[in-house]
Amino acid sequence: MSKILSLLVLITVLSSCMKGESVDLVIHNARVHTMEDGNPIFDAIAIKDGKIVEVGPERQILNKYRADEFIDAQKKDVYPGFTDAHGHILSYAKQQLSVDLVGCKSYDEMIVRVEKYKSKKNPKFIIGRGWDQSLWKENEMPNNKKLSEIFPNIPVCLFRIDGHALLANDYLIKQSNVIEKFANDPELNQGGYFFNDSTGGFTGIMVDNAMNPVLDILPSFPDKELETAILEIQAELYGYGITGVHEAGLEYEEVQLLKKLIDADKLGLNIYAMLAPTPKNIAFAKKNGVYTHENLLIRSFKVYGDGALGSRGAFLKQVYSDHDHHHGYLTTSMKRMNEIADLCTKIDYQMNTHAIGDSTNRVLLELYERTFAQNPDHRWRIEHAQIVDPADFKLFASAGVFPSVQPTHAVSDQRWAESRIGAHRMEGAYAYRTLLEQFGMLAIGTDFPVELTDPFLTIHAAVQRKNAENFPSTGFLPKEQITLEECIKGMTIWAAYAAFQENELGTLEKGKDATLVMFVNPVKSNAVFVPNFAHTTWIKGKKVYSVE
């Protein structure tokens, strides 16, 4: 009897196979990289209702499924959609609406770009972003003398590439009252400083918290312009196969803007938003806890532990090698960081803290260790983990701390990092291999707009340890290379873990979201950089980008 029954079952199964199960899309003749353990590669994938139904060999999938659309991939590489695990969509949008100073080769070029912007847009307040004095011949922090001469009657605020320093003209300095405020507010000068020239004169450069009085009076851009810029950024990301961003620090109003775009069905990126710990955001988090709104997930705070190495705001255990008596500083007090940690523990949020200097990394590793005792799977992140004392690496393992790194920072900073910290501290700098060995995973991003959004530059930096010009030829600190597969894991499955989204995203397997990308060129890492782009990008089964 049971034999007859199983025969009947077999016949039913076979006949349904022959008819073909109906799905929405089959991509075949592809190289489908599942990114599961061992990274098995299959020929074909079947998708229905935004989910992956099956991944398997060519014949198996083609025989089994009837689809509305078949795509012959002609052996192209297919991956889970990439995630940028640390980016700033809103800052990038603002950068696009400001004077673009990225890549300026001199102070004079910067002035010319500001003049052009002024005559074209006739603004009431000039904001520029992206200068980097290390690209200039003199390689010295600028002063505002010429800027104030040329623009005597309008406020001008020019942010350094890292966003941790700004150059203001005299008009803005006066308008913001920054000098007086700085003198009277110990919090500003504990976590920031005025940059003076060799004669002790103020240059007009403010670093980290010293920028706050200026930031307070910065006009905001109209929502309409920001929305347009955000959608342009989304299109750029889709063109690289990026389907998700861990947005590293948002104000309450910025979250509302993203929600508005999601509700209008315009913003399809998977957004894992870290909240800036402002009173409004804290009230929101206490009220809502872990919060999902369509493709937006909120369950973390982004905290700034210190500044940046380029503007000497990173907090170091020993003084800077190119600046006597200066250690940098914490930009958020220990007391405040402890309060945020307690709140995160209470409402099941993740704490993601920017830490560049070895001292900041150390104090945070100790702070996170407490959380580990209560929850070994807390996944609290250190963003950047740039300079770590070699004696402290083991704490990433013992405290369960998730390193979130941006390999393009390594190859951008290589020109001057050693002058800031000296050869002996380079041992624990940009040490992605060492960090990976400690924690077992890395979340990998770019920190755009500090770096470009291109994930293939990230791969080149992580695997070859070279910049886009293939410099240096032997790789920067080459013993810290990671493999191509590890780097892609950092942008797929490990990034998903870093955002508690591994059940929906990060690998191509049955039941997960059909969020994937097919690339134009084979995905490889070569000694010489070869650009690559998405051919087609899908989010939850919906085509959001195609070269055709």
Query: Footprint of Zn ion on this chain (CB under 5 A)?
Result: 248, 447
Residue 66 gets the label, from left (phi > 0), alpha (psi -120 to 50) or beta, of beta
Minimum distance, C-beta of residue 487 to Zn ion, in the bound complex (Å): 19
Smaller CB distance to Zn ion: residue 176 or 212? 212
Smaller CB distance to Zn ion: residue 274 or 463? 274
Minimum distance, C-beta of residue 167 to Zn ion, in the bound complex (Å): 20
- Tell me which H or E stretch contains 433: helix 432-439
Which of 468, 507, 358 is CA-nearest to residue 421? 358
Minimum distance, C-beta of residue 383 to Zn ion, in the bound complex (Å): 7
Q: How far apart are CA 241 and CA 456, in angstroms?
A: 10
Q: How far apart are CA 57 and CA 481, in angstroms?
A: 33
Q: Are strands 542-546 and 534-539 parallel, antiparallel or unpaired?
A: antiparallel
Minimum distance, C-beta of residue 477 to Zn ion, in the bound complex (Å): 21
Q: Residues near 208 by Cβ (< 8 Å), separated by ≥ 6?
A: 164, 165, 191, 192, 193, 304, 306, 307, 311, 313, 329, 331
Minimum distance, C-beta of residue 367 to Zn ion, in the bound complex (Å): 20
Smaller CB distance to Zn ion: residue 170 or 447? 447
3-state class (DSSP) for residue 297: strand
Q: How far apart are CA 209 and CA 192, in angstroms?
A: 5
Smaller CB distance to Zn ion: residue 34 or 361? 361
Q: What length is written for the chain?
A: 548
Q: Are strands 44-48 and 51-56 parallel, antiparallel or unpaired?
A: antiparallel
Minimum distance, C-beta of residue 61 to Zn ion, in the bound complex (Å): 41
Smaller CB distance to Zn ion: residue 162 or 513? 162
Minimum distance, C-beta of residue 88 to Zn ion, in the bound complex (Å): 6
Minimum distance, C-beta of residue 266 to Zn ion, in the bound complex (Å): 24
Minimum distance, C-beta of residue 354 to Zn ion, in the bound complex (Å): 7
Beta strands in 174-241 (DSSP E): 192-196, 202-208
Smaller CB distance to Zn ion: residue 24 or 447? 447
Longest dimension (CA), the chain: 99
505 DSSP assignment: S
* Residue 464 CA neighbour count, 13 Å, CB half: 22
- Residue 26 amino acid letter: V
Helices (H), 75-126: 89-97, 107-121
Smaller CB distance to Zn ion: residue 453 or 525? 453
Q: How far apart are CA 71 and CA 135, in angstroms?
A: 46
Which of 334, 383, 327 is CA-nearest to residue 354? 383
